[in-house]
């Protein structure tokens, strides 16, 4: 019987059971009664509307994401024989009475998004005895649309239109069901459980192949792209499938669990090919196929059972959630990505300021072995004039106390408060790794067990329970925070290996909430720390995330990745799509987590990728290195690498006024630091498709080098602007691809004409030197503005208005710079300073250590205007 239901589910139908009956207008919504359930249109803001379809008296009672208590926006409705219209100032929703589908229009009457007629589905089902639905909605996606977001994935896809994905939380993959379109809309698929994006429903039967052993316990798979050697701990599967016509197809590999190999060979060509100790369970890709029969080979761990499926690409985007209690999504419109993301954050929680030091360099490795080891490492950074702000203690500091116990084993970390104070005296902060699978045999676990605060039959604490959240923070506070720990590395917060499926949680069956665990881990720590000590801003580095988590002071990183060029390249795409889900703070393990062993310290080929990765890391929102069983300190790799790293560290710290002011725009105006080019150049189709370039703030275009042995690198400069090479000051016109200098010590970076960039002094840690003298760089070519922001750096007084802003304006027509009056004040704010104003031209490139001589202006907080040629 269930097979028949699923067959009907996947057949193209026209609004079965959704015939229009009547409607009613309430204070906060338009409710449309259908022959099967009720469709609610709920205005959330003048540019956002929620769509909910409920039936059979099943509904989700929890509200995790949309938490802001905003006033219901003004709206009107009208009716005609064929449709209902819900009108807000900036957004109109049209319900078609015949088809039952919805259209979304901007304030000019243009349709920017529409449901595919007959595609709204809620198919009754159960999971472990609980009633639920398989919820599906299909949206029309016209040719030329580009789609981005969905979180952080390792499949290498940038434009997600027609790409197939399985949204689960696992190491190196973060699932956030928010999509941004180049047509300037956002879409939050408001489900907390497993979701399939553009599911591929044509399953290919696979048979396990018989193989013979080769040398070293390996077998060989021969393909047209070369022989693939496969470990005997892996299995080879074979299958055949037929497609009816030539064209583009979406393929999906689903191994069911984490794996160490993704290999999909079709007709002898390897289309998906990755290896790492950890890989997510699934990967999708778009490929072209000829009409006819095709062979497929899959390689995976012997303990996994692969599934392979496909579908033709089409002008449709599909979301499907198999464990849903309703169909629920939110549509956002706006003039650009910033406006859409700002609106999204206004409803799901705005971003607090990270402490100033969080934008400095984070030194991390697996792992420091004692308090003395931590202190001596920071001393060596200071001795070598290598700037850094944060040192990170990875796992196993807990020693005798048991796995995951947040407590220093005094055997190697005696008197923790003392060595932490030594770190503080060296002007460094300490971040400590914390897990949520605390050893049940430990002393700290006893009160959790007594109160039933673990998820049953699981090593993970039930962080959904408010009592667990309080107890967890109290444990962190008593054993770490009260000793002086500055920030948190919340590891494995997925929780690891998608562990909630089939488990009971405080809110109910984990299948319904399996994407949301990291949200509540961050909530527990953020709210706990702010209540305990509001004088220290919360900074949480965490491996997973869910929609709304940006409100908890979090930074994400891309997990336990490998170290090769392909992996490096995929991190750029992963970070850009993650940034378009409203999460502004992101980083990677510079050099890769899994590294090439002892040879890494002397192998020049590895040094090449390590330096390139480090150069890119300097232009990440958060700048951090890490590595498994590695000594990641710069001097471990020799003088040449150390000098290359020092160059980028010095530049990062000189850029701190620009970076911190950009972070203020994130918190104040909903901006984003790491900006895919679609955010600023949406009318330039070539720019929109650049997956390996991005804007760092609104002024700097960054093009990381992702190949070995490169001296020049192709960079596309978006049209309608002039661009300046950061290193040389040379000006180039936009709308062209040029070969930029990419010699060993340079990453291609270009500054947009009309930019104003403030530069600080060379420093060894943030706040080391007064900002009484700053270099202000003017990049001519268009009118420009920059608001330079400063505050106390590490408390929440800025929320009470304790900060300053100095507005800079450049007029291209008059060639004049205006510096406005100082706005605001805070304890220690400067009343007078010197600005060294430099007009950039060829030969006036940036230097990571020295100031360029320009025109000196003494600024005492009053308006100043100067003409510059």
Q: Which of 282, 309, 113, 298 is nearest to 195 (CA)?
A: 282
Is residue 159 within 8 Å of 148, Cβ to Cβ?
A: yes
Q: What ranges in 117-253 are assigned the alpha helix state H?
A: none
Beta-carbon contacts of residue 69 (< 8 Å; ≥ 6 apart):
none
CB 547 within 8 A of CB 176: yes
Task: Determine the Cα–Cα distance for residues 153 and 179; give it in Å rounded to an integer.
Answer: 14
Q: Of 339, 494, 633, 725, which one is the catalytic site residue?
A: 494
Which tokens belong to 340? 């859409």
In the β-sheet with 731-733, what is the strand arrangement from edge to edge? 674-676, 694-696, 700-702, 749-752, 722-725, 731-733
Among candidate residues 54, 106, 560, 633, the one labeled active-site is: 560
Strand ranges of the sheet holding 185-189, from the earlier edge strand across to the other edge: 20-25, 30-34, 38-45, 48-54, 327-333, 185-189, 174-181, 147-152
C-alpha angle 849-854-856 in degrees, rounded to nearest 5: 105
- Tell me the C-alpha distance between 53 and 67, whole Å: 20
CA angle 493, 495, 497 (to 5 degrees): 130
- Cβ(33)–Cβ(21) below 8 Å: yes
Peptide bond into 495 cis (omega under 30): yes
677 backbone dihedrals φ, ψ, rounded to 5°: -65, -20
Is 491 one of the annotated active-site residues of the chain?
yes
Distance CA 740, CA 710 (A): 11
Catalytic residue, from 491, 498, 791, 792: name it. Answer: 491
C-alpha–C-alpha distance, residues 777 and 749, integer Å: 15
Written as six digits, the tokens of 776 are: 């202000």
Catalytic status, residue 494: yes
User: What does the alpha-carbon distance between residue 550 and residue 65 come to, in Å, rounded to a whole number?
Assistant: 11
Rg (CA), the chain: 27
Q: What are phi and psi of 243, to 5 degrees?
A: -115, 150
Q: Left (φ > 0), alpha (ψ -120 to 50) or beta: where does 486 sit?
A: alpha
How many residues in the chain?
869
The CA–CA distances, whole Å, from 837 to 22, 354, 476, 652, 654 equal 67, 29, 47, 20, 15
Residue 582: asked if its preceding bond is cis (omega within 30°), the reply is: no
Please state the φ and ψ torsions of residue 178, each to the nearest 5 degrees. Answer: -120, 130
Phi, psi of 711 (to 5 degrees): -115, -20
> 590-601 burial by CB neighbour count: b if 16+ within 10 A, else e?
bbbbbbbeeebb
Neighbouring-strand partners of residue 132: 125
CA dihedral 795, 798, 803, 807 (to 10 degrees): 130
d(CA 103, CA 96): 8
805-820: string of b/e by CB count within 10 Å (b at 16+)?
Answer: bbbbbbeeeeeebebb
Residue positions annotated with a catalytic role: 491, 494, 560
């Amino acid at each position: 019987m269930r097979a028949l239901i699923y067959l009907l589910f996947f057949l193209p139908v026209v609004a079965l059971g959704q015939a229009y009956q009547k409607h009613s207008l309430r204070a906060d919504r338009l409710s449309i009664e259908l022959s099967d359930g009720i469709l609610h249109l709920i205005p959330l803001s003048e540019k956002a509307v929620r769509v909910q379809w409920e039936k059979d008296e099943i509904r989700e009672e929890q509200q995790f994401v949309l938490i802001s208590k905003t006033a219901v926006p003004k709206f009107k409705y009208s009716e005609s024989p064929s449709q209902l219209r819900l009108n807000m100032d900036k957004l109109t929703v049209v319900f078609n009475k015949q088809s039952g589908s919805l259209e979304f229009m901007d304030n000019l009457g243009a349709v920017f998004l529409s449901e595919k007629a007959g595609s709204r589905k809620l198919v009754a089902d159960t999971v472990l005895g609980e009633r639920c639905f398989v919820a599906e909605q299909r949206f029309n996606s016209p040719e030329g649309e580009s789609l981005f977001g969905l979180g952080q994935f390792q499949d290498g896809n940038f434009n997600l239109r027609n790409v197939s994905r399985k949204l689960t939380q696992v190491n190196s993959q973060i699932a956030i069901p928010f999509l941004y379109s180049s047509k300037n809309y956002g879409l939050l698929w408001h489900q907390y459980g497993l979701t399939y994006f553009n599911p591929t429903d044509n399953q290919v039967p696979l048979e396990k192949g018989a193989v013979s052993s080769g040398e070293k316990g390996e077998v060989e798979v021969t393909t047209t792209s070369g022989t693939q050697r496969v470990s005997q701990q892996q299995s080879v599967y074979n299958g055949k499938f037929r497609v009816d016509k030539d064209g583009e197809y979406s393929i999906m590999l689903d191994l069911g669990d984490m794996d160490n190999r993704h290999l999909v060979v079709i007709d002898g060509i390897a289309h998906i090919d990755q290896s790492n100790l950890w890989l997510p369970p699934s990967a999708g890709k778009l490929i072209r196929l000829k009409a006819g029969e095709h062979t497929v080979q899959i390689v995976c761990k012997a303990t996994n059972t692969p599934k392979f499926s496909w579908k033709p690409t089409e002008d449709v985007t599909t979301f499907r959630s198999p464990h849903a209690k309703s169909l629920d999504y939110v549509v956002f419109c706006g003039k650009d990505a910033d406006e859409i993301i700002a609106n999204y954050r206004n409803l799901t929680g705005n971003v607090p300021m990270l402490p100033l030091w969080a934008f400095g360099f984070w030194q991390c490795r697996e792992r420091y072995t004692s308090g003395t080891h931590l202190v001596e490492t920071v001393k060596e950074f200071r001795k070598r004039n290598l700037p850094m702000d944060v040192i990170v203690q990875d796992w196993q500091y807990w020693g005798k106390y048991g796995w995951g116990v947040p407590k220093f084993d005094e055997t190697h970390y005696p008197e923790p408060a003392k060595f932490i104070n030594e770190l503080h005296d060296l002007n460094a902060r300490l971040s400590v790794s914390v897990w949520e699978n605390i050893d049940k045999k430990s002393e700290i676990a006893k009160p959790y067990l007594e109160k039933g605060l673990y998820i049953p039959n699981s090593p993970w604490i039930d962080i959904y329970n408010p009592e667990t959240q309080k107890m967890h923070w109290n444990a962190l506070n008593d054993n770490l925070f009260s000793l002086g720990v500055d920030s948190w590395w919340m590891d494995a917060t997925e929780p690891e290996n998608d562990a909630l499926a089939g488990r009971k949680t405080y809110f109910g069956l984990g299948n319904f909430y399996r994407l949301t665990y990291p949200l509540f881990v961050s909530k527990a720590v953020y709210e706990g720390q702010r209540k305990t000590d509001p004088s220290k801003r919360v900074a949480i580095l965490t491996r997973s995330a869910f929609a709304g988590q940006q409100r908890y002071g979090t930074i994400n990183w891309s997990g336990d990745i490998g170290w090769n060029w392909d992996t490096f390249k995929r991190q750029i795409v992963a970070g850009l799509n993650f940034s378009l889900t409203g999460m502004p703070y992101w980083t990677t393990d510079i050099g890769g987590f899994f590294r090439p062993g002892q040879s890494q310290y002397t192998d020049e080929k590895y040094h090449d990728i390590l330096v390139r990765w480090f150069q890119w890391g300097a232009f990440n929102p958060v700048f951090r290195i890490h590595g498994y069983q590695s000594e990641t300190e710069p001097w471990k790799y020799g003088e040449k690498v150390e000098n290359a790293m020092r160059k980028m560290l010095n530049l990062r710290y000189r850029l701190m006024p620009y970076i911190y002011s950009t972070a203020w725009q994130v918190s104040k105006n909903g901006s984003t630091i790491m900006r895919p080019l679609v955010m600023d150049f949406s009318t330039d189709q070539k720019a929109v498709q650049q997956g390996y370039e991005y804007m760092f703030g609104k002024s700097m275009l960054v093009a990381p080098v992702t190949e070995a042995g490169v001296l020049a690198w192709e960079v596309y400069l978006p049209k309608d602007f002039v661009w300046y090479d950061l290193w040389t000051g040379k000006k180039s016109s936009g709308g062209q691809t040029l070969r930029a200098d990419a010699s060993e010590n340079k990453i291609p970076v270009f500054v947009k004409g009309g930019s104003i960039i403030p530069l600080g002094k060379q420093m060894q840690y943030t706040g080391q030197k007064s900002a009484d003298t700053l270099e202000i760089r003017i990049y001519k070519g268009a009118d420009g503005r920059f608001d330079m922001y400063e505050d106390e750096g590490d408390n929440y007084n800025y929320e009470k208005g304790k900060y300053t802003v100095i507005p800079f304006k450049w007029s291209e027509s008059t060639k004049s710079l205006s510096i406005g009056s100082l706005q605001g004040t805070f304890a220690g704010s400067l009343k007078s300073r010197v600005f060294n104003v430099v007009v950039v031209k060829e030969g006036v490139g940036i230097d990571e250590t020295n100031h360029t001589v320009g025109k000196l202006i003494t600024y005492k907080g009053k308006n100043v205007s100067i003409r510059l040629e």
